[in-house]
Amino acid sequence: MRYLTGLQPSGQLHIGNYFGAILPAVRLQEKGEAFYFIANYHAMTTMSSPQALHDNTRGLAVDFLACGLDPKKAVFFAQSAVPEVNELAWILSTVCPMGLLERCHSYKEKMARGIAATHALFAYPALMAADILLYDSDAVPVGKDQKQHLEVTRDLAGKMNETFGQLFKLPEPVISESTAVVPGLDGQKMSKSYGNAVPIFGEEKELRKLINKKIVTDTTPLEAPKPTENSIILALYKLFASPESYDCMVRQHLAGGVGYGQFKKDLFEAYWEYFRPAREKREWLLTNPGYVDDVLTTGASRAREEASKTLTRIRRAVGLAWL
The interaxial angle of helices 276-286 and 260-274, nearest 10 deg, is 50
Catalytic residue among 189, 214, 265, 281: 189
Residue 264 falls in the annotated catalytic set = no
CA-to-CA dists, residue 175 to 7, 20, 50, 169, 180, angstroms = 16, 10, 33, 19, 11
Residue 189 falls in the annotated catalytic set = yes
Residue 159 falls in the annotated catalytic set = no
Residue 71 near residue 298, CB atoms below 8 Å: yes
Residue 56 near residue 43, CB atoms below 8 Å: yes
Read off φ and ψ for residue 34, nearest 5 degrees.
-110, 130
Catalytic residue among 73, 110, 159, 265: 110
Catalytic residue among 73, 159, 192, 281: 192
| Nearest partner of 260 among 225, 294, 292, judged by Cα | 225
Residue 216 near residue 210, CB atoms below 8 Å: no
Calpha distance 172→169 (Å, rounded): 9
Tell me which H or E stretch contains 141: strand 139-141
> Which active-site residues does the annotation give?
110, 189, 192
